[in-house]
Amino acid sequence: MHATAILLAAGLGTRMKSRHPKAAHKLAGRPMLRHLIESCGVVFDQIVVVVGPDMQELEAIASPHAVVVQQERLGTAHAALQAAGLFGDGDVAVLYADNPLITPDTLRRLVETRRDGATRLALLAMRPADPGRYGRVVQQDGEVERIVEWADASEAERAIPLCNAGVLCAAAADFEPWLRAVRNDNARGEYYLTDVVALAAASGGIVRAVEASEAELRGINSRAELAEGEAAIQQRLRRAAMDAGATLVAPETVFLSADTVLAPDVVVQPHVVFGPGVSVGAGSEIRAFSHLEGCIVGEGAQIGPYARLRPGTHVGDAAHVGNFVELKAADLGAGAKANHLSYIGDASIGAGSNIGAGTITCNYDGVFKHRTEIGARAFIGSNSILVAPVRIGDGALTAAGSVITNDVEADALALGRARQVNKPGQASMLREKLARETKVRDQKKHGETG
């Protein structure tokens, strides 16, 4: 049976105090709306996103899924009704973009409950530690009678521990008439989606609640709640990484992105940050205080400590990237090493090459970026400056401290530094001169203050 997910994302999120829509704020490097889209994509055949006017940022995030615009913000039932023309013939679930942590398993349970042969409407509910201002789920004999918003609830209703998570699922043929029957005679004068529950119950249909954890169903409406959501998703991602065979030495100090891929036997030491778009091959070790984003690390590689891999970087199998080394749009070949204090940008480094401490690829001339190409088994001496565009051939060697501005052929030795001159006795003479100058300076200072 066909199923459609309607994602409500028209809220301004004023409590975020941001120029960005609430659903555009990120968790684990991914917009909240995108998290929900990814989960819904596992369960539903079609996804429709409802946004407010002038929300092009959210429309871009929603792509390629259908988007409809709620021109007037008259409430959540009104928002869902804007997508009625796209409901289709099967089941419809309405979700909120500020509930981004719902898992596919929970959504699957929701749909299965709706299709159990007796349930006309299914909803998600939770029992939060602090129910606060959540709407309460009023039940009788295991069936849901209605949901009452906190602002309209009595003291007895506010004492109910089961809270509405905002997600409803029903057949499209039922959902649209219920939405059109919703009225706005409440404390805020809005058309509440939650009123659909009472309408469903009043029509003789059975309404059931599907419970899930607060960590999964929490709403995110403020910066503080965004931080709480980040903590929840990080805990989930860390557990998944370890269950898949990675070792996180101090999991609470490692931060992952939603798309981070860690192969089995990867070891991640404390205080490592993975930005979006990182894949690490089996047996590699990411050492402490490293930052990786938009890069691929091969098998058996060693990264860090204190390394930075920027977007476009590819580290080959068994390669080494050491402390205070930064790579950007660079290919480091298999077994190659850049172990100390280097910047390698817009470069290709062949297999087995060694990059000496303090090496820099000068890749930017103020207008354009240029590439440096280093062949296999080359040796780049410490403090070499490679001025791109430049090519270093296979097996070539650059002397320490060289500035390389021209191509170096294979197996050649390149020296690009001033000739050294030794002057016997000059060191002691210089020290004596400096001592005399220091004495005169001290005497003058004493005379001025004496």
The domain that contains 270 carries what CATH number? 2.160.10.10
Report yes or no on 427 lying in a domain: no
**CA angle 371-377-382, nearest 5°?**
70
State whether 264 and 137 are in the same domain.
no
Number of helices (H), then strands (E), in the chain = 10, 35
Q: Which domain holds residue 151?
A: 3-217
Question: By C-alpha distance, which of 100, 134, 95 is closest to 23?
Answer: 100
State whether 243 and 202 are in the same domain.
no
Contacts of 160 (CB under 8 A, 6+ apart): 131, 136, 137, 138
Question: What is the distance between the alpha carbons of residues 346 and 85, in angstroms, rounded to a whole number?
Answer: 50
State whether 183 and 296 are in the same domain.
no
Report yes or no: 369 and 386 within 8 Å, Cβ to Cβ: no
pLDDT of amino acid 11: 86
State whether 131 and 50 are in the same domain.
yes
pLDDT of amino acid 292: 98
State whether 213 and 170 are in the same domain.
yes
Cβ burial 326-352 (10 Å sphere, 16+ → b, else e): bbbbbbbbbbbbbbebbbbbbbbbbbb
pLDDT of amino acid 449: 58
Report yes or no on 222 lying in a domain: no
pLDDT of amino acid 66: 97
Question: What is the distance between the alpha carbons of residues 15 and 395, in angstroms, rounded to a whole number?
Answer: 60
Identify the CATH number of the domain in which residue 147 sits: 3.90.550.10
Name the 3-class secondary structure at 95.
Answer: strand
Residues at the binding site for UDP-N-acetyl-alpha-D-glucosamine are 8-11, 22, 70, 75-76, 135, 149, 164, 221, 310, 328, 343, 354
Q: Is 20 tagged catalytic?
A: no
How many domains does one find in the chain?
2
State whether 129 and 7 are in the same domain.
yes
Residues at the binding site for Mg(2+) are 98, 221
Q: What is the pTM of this model?
A: 0.89
Report yes or no on 206 lying in a domain: yes
Residues at the binding site are 8-11, 22, 70, 75-76, 98, 135, 149, 164, 221, 310, 328, 343, 354, 357, 363-364, 382, 400, 417
Report yes or no on 403 lying in a domain: yes
State whether 298 and 149 are in the same domain.
no
The one catalytic residue in 20, 65, 340, 370 is 340
pLDDT of amino acid 205: 85
Which of 185, 217, 249 lies at the terminal end of a domain, its last residue? 217
Report yes or no: 182 and 198 within 8 Å, Cβ to Cβ: no
Q: Could you list the pLDDT tens digit for every one of the 450 residues in the chain? A: 799 999 999 988 889 999 999 999 999 999 999 999 999 999 999 999 999 999 999 999 999 999 999 999 999 999 999 999 999 999 999 999 999 999 999 999 999 999 998 999 999 999 999 888 889 999 988 899 988 888 888 999 999 999 999 899 999 999 999 999 999 988 788 999 989 999 999 988 899 999 999 989 988 999 999 999 999 999 999 999 999 999 999 999 999 999 999 999 999 999 999 999 999 999 999 999 999 999 999 999 999 999 999 999 999 999 999 999 999 999 999 999 999 999 999 999 999 999 999 999 999 988 999 999 999 999 999 999 999 999 999 999 999 999 999 999 999 999 998 888 899 999 899 899 989 999 988 888 877 655
State whether 14 and 73 are in the same domain.
yes
State whether 106 and 159 are in the same domain.
yes
> Which 8-state DSSP code applies to residue 255?
B
Question: What is the distance between the alpha carbons of residues 433 and 402, in angstroms, rounded to a whole number?
Answer: 32
pLDDT of amino acid 110: 97
Question: What is the distance between the alpha carbons of residues 168 and 186, in angstroms, rounded to a whole number?
Answer: 20
State whether 124 and 203 are in the same domain.
yes
> 285 burial class (0-12, 13-18, 19+ CB within 10 angstroms)?
middle
State whether 247 and 205 are in the same domain.
no
pLDDT of amino acid 236: 96
